[in-house]
Amino acid sequence: MADLLVVGSIGLDNIETPSGQVAETLGGSAIYFSLAASLFGKVNLVGVVGEDFPEKHRALLAARGVNTEGLQVRPGRTFRWAGCYDDDLNTAHTLDTQLNVFAEFHPQLPEAYRDVPFVFLANIDPELQLEVLSQVRGARLRVLDTMNFWIERKRPQLLDAMRSVDVVLMNDGEVRQLAGTYNLISAARYVLTRGPRVLVIKKGEHGAVMFSEGGYFVAPAYPLAEVRDPTGAGDTFAGGFVGYLSQADEPDEAALRQAVVHGSVVASFTCQDFGVACLATLDRATVAQRYREFSEFTSFPRD
Amino acid sequence: MADLLVVGSIGLDNIETPSGQVAETLGGSAIYFSLAASLFGKVNLVGVVGEDFPEKHRALLAARGVNTEGLQVRPGRTFRWAGCYDDDLNTAHTLDTQLNVFAEFHPQLPEAYRDVPFVFLANIDPELQLEVLSQVRGARLRVLDTMNFWIERKRPQLLDAMRSVDVVLMNDGEVRQLAGTYNLISAARYVLTRGPRVLVIKKGEHGAVMFSEGGYFVAPAYPLAEVRDPTGAGDTFAGGFVGYLSQADEPDEAALRQAVVHGSVVASFTCQDFGVACLATLDRATVAQRYREFSEFTSFPRD
């Protein structure tokens, strides 16, 4: 089992979905990633919170074995996000964003983090992603996520960061926007000729597809009778994906495929309840059980 | 190998997509179904055309072994449809519909058709679908497709027709509309408590899902670098699906899953070129080759 490093946002979220609402709940890309990846390995977290960050959230991270030595506490308030979803639960509408201490965030890796082999750069300013990459030494696998905001505003820096990683994770809308084409195969070619050897495209309720030297792989999403809150599903996917790879022998095609399915499996649990409620108590046996279900509902006889 | 029966529309289409355009090309649900299903078995076609229906189209059907004894020729013009697609190729916009001889169509099954074991009721007025069902004797498998137009205008008749079939095929938007819920699991429950034992939901570029007594099965769509024209993909899917089942020993869960994948495989060929251009020359070996590709790009190791 090898260690993981994540750099991303940590926030307090107000979320409203057709199933209900929650206020000031623990959120942020680094949090969903950490809780998901900690099912598979030791996670080292880098991020920033304000002085108002509740002790119970820190306790949850500790209980899940997440190392918070790289968690900065700054004077001021923690990052806050408020959002709501339409009935189809596919699109988050941001109602309010308060960057607070996150506005001045610069990732500083504790010395002990610099040799961590599995690095996840969550969806933050690509300039900060590059700052992180300049501080890590000889990572075995570097994975990057991003979003439309950076594609529009910091495209050159984002392309720089992409050139320096092994795997890019994006959602389908973002990869189409980045490549300027609707066709996902053309979009994947665009990304794979710019550095990364693997592209994983997250498609929400439609699952995920992976493009790599080994070819093409499709994994569905788990069919949930009720999606209560999809917030954090993409970062949870990333946590399951990188987390699984961190304990595999080699990140070869077989392991990458298993990692994509683990990403999809863990993300499905996040959608079952608000915020990190489901992730906070999830265990490996429950994940393994659902992985077997995936195997069952995607298999068909060869002719 | 058992025979198939299809009742549906036959038309001449004007189609415009980002890849180009074609005029007066052979189309209609019964045509796409027939050409796809004839890869697997003998298809008996019921439909109507006008006196202007080109001889070359009849020759193509004959060349593919489609029995046109049930093809009515009426005074007047053949059904015409004109449509175009946005860049994402997901939505067809109807520019013009001329029902012509199709307006007064009533399916009449030649005596030799009435014992055909595999029956496909393409997307036509559910009252006509019921007329067909009243004329068939002891079919082994009855499959029905429909669309939003009938859900809105002839809901009771559609529910009647659904009660009398084994399998319902619909696209995701339609099943959501019929069931009045966005969630596909809830929507599937709605359909499966109303007669059919199997529901196959077509999701276009996102593939297909099947709900049955055997559970849940997901198949992706084939990743095409260029979708030239998606017209008829859903009816082609139906032809591959029912066609495959017609030559299987039993329509059990394994055969149903193979049938869904065959539907997805054959539909992918339709999307590669305009109208029926690709289907018109497709052969079983090419289908089998792509079926093996599906097997490869969906498989992952069990843990």
Tell me which residue of A270, A238, A244 sits closest to A146, measured CA to CA.
A238
Alpha-carbon gap, residue A90 to A205, rounded angstroms: 8
- Please answer yes or no on whether B301 and A257 come within 8 Å at the CB atom: yes
- Secondary structure of residue B35 in the 3-state scheme: helix
Confirm or reject contact between A172 and chain B (CB < 8 A): no
Q: What is the pTM of this model?
A: 0.95
Dihedral (CA of B3, B5, B11, B15) sign: negative
CATH superfamily of A4-297: Ribokinase (3.40.1190.20)
Measured in angstroms, the CA of B11 and the nearest CA of chain A are apart by: 29
B4-298 CATH fold: UDP-N-acetylmuramoyl-L-alanine:D-glutamate ligase (3.40.1190)
Q: Which of residues 87-106 of B touch A (CB under 8 A)?
A: 87-89
Confirm or reject contact between A284 and chain B (CB < 8 A): no
- Please answer yes or no on whether A295 and B292 come within 8 Å at the CB atom: no
Q: What is the mean pLDDT of residues A205-231?
A: 93
pLDDT tops 70 at residue A206: yes
pLDDT tens by residue, A89-142: 888 899 999 999 999 999 999 999 999 999 999 999 999 999 999 999 989 999
Q: Where are the domains of chain A?
A: 4-297
Beta strand spans in chain B (E): 4-7, 11-17, 20-27, 43-50, 67-74, 79-85, 92-98, 118-121, 141-145, 167-171, 198-202, 208-212, 215-219
Confirm or reject contact between A31 and chain B (CB < 8 A): no
Confirm or reject contact between A184 and chain B (CB < 8 A): yes
| Sheet containing A20-27: order of strands | A20-27, A11-17, A79-85, A92-98
- Please answer yes or no on whether A217 and B298 come within 8 Å at the CB atom: yes
Residue that the structure tokens 């082994």 belong to: B140
pLDDT tens by residue, B66-112: 999 999 999 999 999 999 998 888 888 999 999 999 999 999 999 99
Q: Which pLDDT score, from 0 to 100, does residue A110 have?
A: 95
- CB contacts, 8 Å: B295 with chain A: 300, 302
Confirm or reject contact between B249 and chain A (CB < 8 A): no
Confirm or reject contact between A225 and chain B (CB < 8 A): yes
Confirm or reject contact between B201 and chain A (CB < 8 A): no
pLDDT tops 70 at residue B1: no
Alpha carbon distances (Å) from A298 to A90, B56, B116? 23, 42, 32
Query: What b/e sequence results for A213-238 when a residue is b if at least 16 CB atoms lie within 10 Å of its CB, and e otherwise?
Result: eeebbbbbbbbbeebbbbbbbbbbbb
- Say if strands A198-202 and A43-50 run parallel, antiparallel, or are unpaired: unpaired
Q: Which pLDDT score, from 0 to 100, does residue A3 have?
A: 95
ipTM of this model? Answer: 0.92
Q: Which pLDDT score, from 0 to 100, does residue A214 have?
A: 76
Measured in angstroms, the CA of A277 and the nearest CA of chain B are apart by: 22
Q: Which pLDDT score, from 0 to 100, does residue B33 have?
A: 98
